[in-house]
Amino acid sequence: MVILVDQQNLPENIYSVIFATEQQEVVAKMLIKYMAINGGEIGKTEMGLFANNLHEGKIILKEKGKSPLQEEARMSYNKRQFYDRILTPMRGMGLIEYDLFKKTYKLSDKFNKLMVKIGLMWLRELERLKKTN
């Protein structure tokens, strides 16, 4: 996945940096919140249920309020697109990791380590360029 970052116009949240559309941001936030509520780790079956509920529009974004103007808001997102555009990129970047033995997904700090590694790669490149001049 490619992340295009403008240091002068860095968004306030990580989801806006990573995802291209607002809908993808909302779905990713919902997934992270769901995982956090479940101790930061969910099984393969729970992930499938989350994807199915999302696909069928069963996930509630906003509860119905007391006023008739405050209607319930539900979220619907295609299951295949969820896996292709949300979960797989989050796994690839290290935001979420999958344990093959336990068959669970869990929140991870590998993304931070990856960004530090990329920063160090850049510093090494700068040092290499200085030595060649």
- Whole-angstrom CA distances from 94 to 40, 50, 98 are 14, 20, 10
- pLDDT confidence band for 73 (50 / 70 / 90): confident
Tokens 């992270």 belong to: 32
pLDDT of residue 11: 87
How far is Cα 42 from Cα 40, in angstroms, rounded to an integer? 7
Decide if 118 is inside a domain: no
Decide if 96 is inside a domain: yes
In this prediction the pTM is 0.84
Task: Tell me the pLDDT tens digit for each residue of 56-68.
Answer: 988 877 666 566 6
CATH number at residue 28: 1.10.10
Which residues on neighbouring strands pair with residue 98, listed in sequence order? 105
Task: Tell me the pLDDT tens digit for each residue of 17-29.
Answer: 899 899 999 999 9
Decide if 117 is inside a domain: no
- Which residues have C-beta within 8 Å of that of residue 109, sequence separation ≥ 6? 94
DSSP state letters, 17-57: HH-SSHHHHHHHHHHHHHHHHTTTEEEHHHHHHHHHHHHTT
- pLDDT confidence band for 40 (50 / 70 / 90): very high
Q: Looking at the 3D structure of the chain, how many domains does it have? A: 1
Helix (H) or strand (E) holding 101: none
Domain that holds residue 44: 7-108
Q: Encoding tokens for residue 121?
A: 């790669």
Max mean pLDDT range (11-20, 54-63, 78-87): 78-87
